[in-house]
Structure 1
């Protein structure tokens, strides 16, 4: 069975997702939606598929879709898609408030639809067995620092960038938050362009997170500190270093690394298609997306 796939959003990230569907074996990229007719037409021509500016018409042509529109439109587009019986992969964040996230999760479950959230960095953790380690880190430090580009200005840097690390942190910590402090800097509008947060979880794990879209040198890394060493992941260089006494589940060089490490976006797309075909649980569920969203909201509230 070949599924008919679509992408809602003809921006840069919509193009990335369209490329992954174009490469997929069990899905055909059928349509791209964008309310801007020029953007929709240009993107559709690049992928030899149909351009749609009417969302209902777009949904009638597909079986599943990726929502790669600005975050402030995620809930509305996903709600309409799920109500139309379409499986959804929503780029992070799942929504902008917990009530909307709960509504999407409820509809997907009630209609037996796959709802997957685009926290692609998670796949690196899973591929290398970090989440399944018997020992847990006592400290986590993450930096997700970008240059200013003007994109994603409808939300803060917490929802745009830090939320990736919040998803991974939530999987590692597995406990409630005991204390949280945060600070923010706004330079290009009402939403934070840099946010720093300090979190202590039940059990003692301490996390320091920094996210920014104001830097000159892009940095995306995470350090996990254990009693016997550190695991350092460089998400930009696609490199991982382990100085602990426990080997990782996979020890690959760059040329031999699994797809989940080399191309998380492709891995996520393929996993989404497989879940639709088999009914298996998605790699990153709506509930997981909700957990990351909840922590993001708490950080924004603390910073404000």
Structure 2
């Protein structure tokens, strides 16, 4: 039986704790938060212990979820890894790439599992269409959300766009040759809406738009490849696959046919944490390992720097 805990019981941390309780093969030893009232409530809900200092967990747990504000990710993760604890760390992995590289290297040196919380990777839509993606040529994504004050410690690139950066980097097996980006601060002190254009050595181009000040939410991506297109709706768990038909819609122009797929929400967070538990128990490489989290952060940082430079 794996001994687990959750560090940080805010919006996401509370959900992490609930999922650990629901999953087999682990015992939730406790939850941690500097806010005694908030942490105590989550501990009561999950019928576990409450701790104010995460270092009290060392020697009592095998693996933890880290769901503290991004600015604290590095120190908490560093202490956990040095104590021999496996970690599932919420995205972004850290607030700078120097720190994320140190964590990735330390986890490797100590043979510890380090998983990064990119929830969309466990969306049943993405899991199913992955084999359909072959040598993409053009990708277009839109991830739009309403304003939420809880994420103001990071910009929209680190907060929202990084999900699609992670997906695109996983789908396109090629180095980035060029990045162009622009963005604007609207309601907060940091960038709230941004667009990035990634050009890859393979010739693939990805246009990625993210906003956290939209009236309506949207999480869609279109992937164009030779003779086919995939239109993905992550929010409504649906996919349309378009491809050339055998007939002609106009003389010399092939007809377009499509197949539609729909999925049931299977609780992506529960699947993510179940994968983490499985990887720790059987020493398997996570679907989203520390190296993947570091790479996504590298690209997100480059985009942020380009936008910051344009604003000066």
With normalisation by structure 2, the TM-score equals: 0.89
Q: Return 121-130 or 14-23, whichever deviates more.
A: 121-130
Deviation track 1:175-214 (CA, whole Å, cap 9, x = no partner) reads 2222211111112333211111112111111111111110
Mapping for residues 177-188 of structure 1, pairs under 5 Å = 177-188=176-187
Report if the CA contact (8 A) 2:239-2:261 is conserved. Answer: no
SS across alignment from 1:101: helix
Alignment match, 1:265 = 269
Residue 253 of structure 1 deviates from its aligned partner by: 4.3
Distance 1:50 1:151 in 2: 25
- Cα pair distance change 1:270/1:252, threshold 3 Å: farther
Superposed CA deviations along residues 248-292 of structure 1, whole A, max 9, x for unmatched, are xxx86435xxxxx63221111111101111111112110111110
Distance (whole Å) between structure 2 residues aligned to residue 212 and residue 127 of structure 1: 25
Counterpart secondary structure, 2:149: coil
Q: Confirm or deny: 8 A CA contact 2:144 2:211 kept in the other structure.
A: yes
User: Does the Cα contact within 8 Å between 2:237 and 2:262 map onto a contact in 1?
Assistant: no
CA distance in 1, matches of 2:113, 2:94: 16
Paired residues of 2:238 and 2:261 also in contact (CA < 8 A) = no
Distance across 1 between alignment mates of 2:122 and 2:188 = 33
In 1: Cα distance, 2:58 partner to 2:155 partner = 29
Which has a greater percent of strand? Answer: 2
Q: Secondary structure at the match of 1:272?
A: helix
Gaps of 5+ in 2: 246-259
Q: How far off is 1:229 after superposition?
A: 2.7
RMSD: 1.9
Which structure's CA Rg is the greater one?
2
Distance 1:127 1:172 in 2: 12
Structure 1 gaps of 5+ residues are 256-260
Correspondence for 1:168: 167
Question: Do residues 63 (structure 1) and 72 (structure 2) align?
Answer: no
Q: Which residue of 2 aligns with 1:72?
A: 71
Matches of 1:275 and 1:38 in 2, distance apart?
33
Match of 2:299 in 1: 295
Residues 163, 292 of structure 1: 8 Å contact kept: yes
Matching residue of 1:284: 288
Q: Tell me which residue corresponds to 1:214.
A: 213
Structure-2 change in CA distance of 1:26 and 1:245 (3 Å) = farther
Task: Supply the distance in 1 between the matched residues of 2:115 and 2:216 (Cα, whole angstroms).
Answer: 31
- CA distance, structure 2, for counterparts of residue 184 and residue 59 of structure 1: 42
Q: How does 1:32-111 map to 2 (within 5 A)?
A: 32-111=31-110
How far off is 1:137 after superposition? 1.6
Partners of 1:160 and 1:174 in 2: how far apart? 24
Mapped partners of 1:187, 1:127: distance in 2:
34
Give the drift of 1:122. Answer: 2.0
CA contact (8 A) 1:32 1:58 kept: no
1:128 aligned onto 2:132: no
Is the CA contact (8 Å cut-off) linking 1:145 and 1:219 kept in structure 2? yes
Shift of 1:225: 1.4
- Paired with 2:189 and 2:112, the residues of 1 have a C-alpha distance of 36
Q: Show the counterpart of 2:253.
A: none
Conserved in 1, the CA contact under 8 Å of 2:116 and 2:290?
A: yes
Q: Is the alpha carbon distance of 1:253 and 1:146 closer, same or farther for their aligned partners in structure 2, counting shifts above 3 Å?
A: closer
Aligned pairs (5 A) from 1:186-225: 186-225=185-224
TM-score (norm 1): 0.91
**Matched residues, number:** 294
SS in structure 1 at match of 2:203: coil
